[in-house]
Structure 1
Amino acid sequence: MRKIVPIALGLAGVALLSGCGKRGYDRARPDEFAVARQAPLVIPPDFALTPPQPGAARPQDSTSNAQTLEALFGAQTGRSAGETAALNAAGGDSADAGVRSTAGDPATPVVDKGATTRDIVAAPEGDGQDARAATPGK
């Protein structure tokens, strides 16, 4: 018992002192903030900006509706030949342009499929491993 305590203290001291070494904790690696150089600011050489004409419309001003549509869907561009052919084959030339308004209209007739169909549609996605059979009355 007398020899175990000094040996244990010696091993604990060696373990504590080994943590003070510089192995892996030195700053010999490159500084990540000093690696990249930034180019100096340059004043553009062209100062030939024309002043706006009094009473003329500002070019950056447009309606907020147009800005929203452009931000969401991008600028209006023409359809490609392939897209036009696919739309024509699907009957796009005779389609109702306001079908989205008609589908969301409360006056649109709908068929009530019952609670079972509503539960199936509202069921969470998954592979079914957590599914359990419901017993009636419980």
Structure 2
Amino acid sequence: MRNVTRITLAIGATAMLSACGGGLISSRERPDEFAVQRQAPLVIPPDFELVPPAPGAPRPAEGTASQQALEALFPPQTRSAVETSALDRAGTAETSIRSTVGDPNTYTVDKGTTTRAIIAAPEGDGQAARSVIPG
């Protein structure tokens, strides 16, 4: 039993060492650290029309942080032909539509007791909200 264990360990060690590569450390190809040179810094020709920016002023090409956030969240997009057609057919809404919806003379569709319960719910921060699953 000892011989089987020794042979298994020897085969395992040989397999692991075979993955280390072939040869000595000195035979590896590696870059010559003495052949590396420093490059000269880039030189920008002077432009005498430029004025140094004021301290704390935003960069002119970047804009303000709020503009960058809005552009990141809502990138400018062109509307497709279908969307443009649908918006043209819909027309424009009346400017006072929000105030006339609550008017008693406005006709609305009754959605039932659930809608009435939602509308009659007290206003709050939602700390006392409950969820009931019927069934």
TM tier, smaller: 0.3 to 0.5
Q: What is the TM-score of this pair, normalised by structure 1?
A: 0.34
Q: What is the TM-score of this pair, normalised by structure 2?
A: 0.34
